[in-house]
Amino acid sequence: MMNNFDRMLSSEDVMRRRASFLQRIHVDGPLLIILLTLAAGSLFVLYSASGKNWDLLLKQATSFGIGLVSMFVIAQLEPRFMARWVPLAYLTGVLLLVVVDVMGHNAMGATRWINIPGVIRFQPSEFMKIIMPATIAWYLSKRTLPPHLKHVAISLVLIGVPFILIVRQPDLGTALLILASGAFVLFMGGLRWRWILSVLAATVPVAVAMWFFVMHDYQKQRVLTFLDPESDPLGTGWNIIQSKAAIGSGGVFGKGWLLGTQSHLDFLPESHTDFIIAVLGEEFGLVGICLLLIVYLLLIGRGLMITAQAQTLFGKLLAGSLTMTFFVYVFVNIGMVSGLLPVVGVPLPFISYGGTSLVTLLSAFGVLMSIHTHRKWIAQV
C-alpha cells in the first residue's frame, strides 16, 4: 500500500517534500547557491580590482544585501498578482521616463535619474529592465501563440515607446538591452522564424541606405569608431587596447590574485566597473574566466529549466526572457572588453561594482524564484 502510494507521486513532488522549507519561503535553492557563489567571487575580484579598497567592498556587500532582500520580497509575490499589476507598472515607468526626458531638456543636459532630494533617487530605465519583459509577457499570454502579426505589431509599439525615451537620455546601451528583453518574450512566444529572418535581412539594406543617403560624415565617423574602437586609440580605443593587453597577458593560469600589473598600474580604466573581466582575465587567466562562465552557464541553465517547468504562459515567457537577457549582459560585456563588440556601457552582471544594477539583477531573479515556487502541484499530477 505504502509502496504503491509512493510510486504514484511524481519525482518533483518528492523534491518538494525534501526542499519544503525553502519552497514555503519561496526561495529556489540552486539559484540561491549560484548567486551567493557569484557574490563571493565578485568581492574577491573587486578587492584586487579596486586596489584593496575596503570601503568599496563594504558598499558592494551592502548592495548585495539590499538586492537579496529585494529578491526575497519579490519572490513572495504570486505571478498572477504580478500579471495583474504589470500594465499599471508599465504606464508608471513610461510616465517616469517622460518626466526624466522633460527634466533633462530643461536642465540643458542629459539625465537618467529621478531625484527627489532626501526621499528617493533612482533610474526609471533600471525599473524598465524588469517591467518591459513582464509587460510583453502579460500581453502575449492572453493571445494565441504563435502571435499574429497584429499582436506582434502592438508588442513592438509597447517596446518602442520606452526604447525611444531611453535612447533620448541618451543611454543607447540600456535602451538596446530593454529592446532585447522585450524581443526575447516574442522569441519565446514562438515568433515565426520567417519574420525573424526577414527583419534581420531587412536590416542590411536599411543600414546601407542610411549610410549613403542619410548620415553626415561626422556621424559616419562616430559609427566607425563605435564599430571599431581601435581606430580611435586616443578615445575609447585606449580602453580596449589596454584591456586586451591585460587579458592576453594573463595566459592560461593568470598572474595570480593581486598581481595583475595592467590594472594595478592604472593602465586599465574603469577596472572595477565595466572592465572588471580584464582584471579577472589578467590575474586568473583563461581558467578563471572559464570558471566564471561555467557559473554563469549554471545560472542560465537553471533559468531555462524554470522556464520550461513554469505552469502559466506568463511565467514561461517572462522567465525565458529574463534568462536570455541575462545572457546578453554577460555576452555583451565580455565581448566588449575582449574587443569583439563595440563599447557600450554594460556592466558584467554580479561582478562589476555598482549597486543599482545589482539590485535590479537580484530582483529579476526574485521574479524567477516566484515563478518557480508558486506552482500548483495538484494541478500538475
CB under 8 A: which stretch of 81-89, 205-213, 245-253, 342-350 binds other proteins?
Answer: 245-253
**334 part of the interface to other proteins, by CB under 8 A:** yes
Give the Å distances, CA to CA, from 165 to 64, 113, 138, 157.
29, 13, 22, 12
> Which listed residue (232, 295, 298, 355) binds other proteins by CB under 8 A?
232
**249 part of the interface to other proteins, by CB under 8 A:** yes
Buried (b) or exposed (e) across 323-361, using 16+ Cβ within 10 A? bbbbbbbbebbbebbbbebbbbebbbbbbbbbebbbbbb
**308 part of the interface to other proteins, by CB under 8 A:** yes
Q: Which residues contact 232 (CB under 8 A, 6 or more apart)?
A: 225
C-alpha cell at 302: 537553471
For the chain, the first-to-last Cα distance in angstroms comes to 19
> Which listed residue (300, 354, 355, 356) binds other proteins by CB under 8 A?
300
> Which listed residue (304, 354, 355, 356) binds other proteins by CB under 8 A?
304
| CB 278, min distance to other proteins, A | 10
> Which listed residue (65, 251, 256, 345) binds other proteins by CB under 8 A?
251
Give the chain's length.
381
CA distance 304 to 324: 8
> Which listed residue (152, 241, 295, 298) binds other proteins by CB under 8 A?
241
**256 part of the interface to other proteins, by CB under 8 A:** no
Q: What is the DSSP string of 238-249?
A: HHHHHHHHHHHH
CB under 8 A: which stretch of 45-53, 54-62, 117-125, 330-338 binds other proteins?
Answer: 330-338
Placement of cell 519525482 in the chain = 11
**15 part of the interface to other proteins, by CB under 8 A:** no
| CB 247, min distance to other proteins, A | 5
> Which 142-201 residues touch other proteins, going by CB under 8 A?
144-146, 187-190
C-alpha cell at 184: 526575447
Site map (CB under 8 A) of other proteins, residues 258-297, x = contact:
---xx--xxx-------------xx--xx--xx--x---x
**235 part of the interface to other proteins, by CB under 8 A:** yes
> Which 46-85 residues touch other proteins, going by CB under 8 A?
none
Hey, is 344 helix, strand or coil? coil
- Contact assessment for residue 351 and residue 283, using Cβ atoms and an 8 Å cutoff: no
CA distance 369 to 70: 12
CA distance 109 to 54: 34
* Residue closer to other proteins (CB basis): 97 or 317: 317
CB under 8 A: which stretch of 90-98, 160-168, 319-327, 342-350 binds other proteins?
Answer: 319-327
CA distance 52 to 279: 13
**350 part of the interface to other proteins, by CB under 8 A:** no
* Residue closer to other proteins (CB basis): 166 or 375: 375
Asked if residue 170 has a cis previous peptide bond (ω within 30° of 0), the answer is yes
C-beta neighbour count of 380 within 10 angstroms: 11
CB under 8 A: which stretch of 8-16, 202-210, 324-332, 355-363 binds other proteins?
Answer: 324-332
* Residue closer to other proteins (CB basis): 182 or 320: 320
Q: Which residues contact 75 (CB under 8 A, 6 or more apart)?
A: 26, 27, 366, 367, 369, 370, 373
| CB 119, min distance to other proteins, A | 33
**233 part of the interface to other proteins, by CB under 8 A:** yes
Interface with other proteins: number of residues (CB under 8 A): 55
Q: At what angle do helices 355-373 and 124-141 cross, to 10 degrees?
A: 20
Q: Which residues contact 117 (CB under 8 A, 6 or more apart)?
A: none
Q: Which residues bind other proteins (CB under 8 A)?
A: 144-146, 187-190, 232-235, 237-238, 241-242, 244-252, 261-262, 265-267, 281-282, 285-286, 289-290, 293, 297, 300-301, 304, 307-308, 313, 316-317, 320, 323-324, 327, 331, 334-335, 338-340
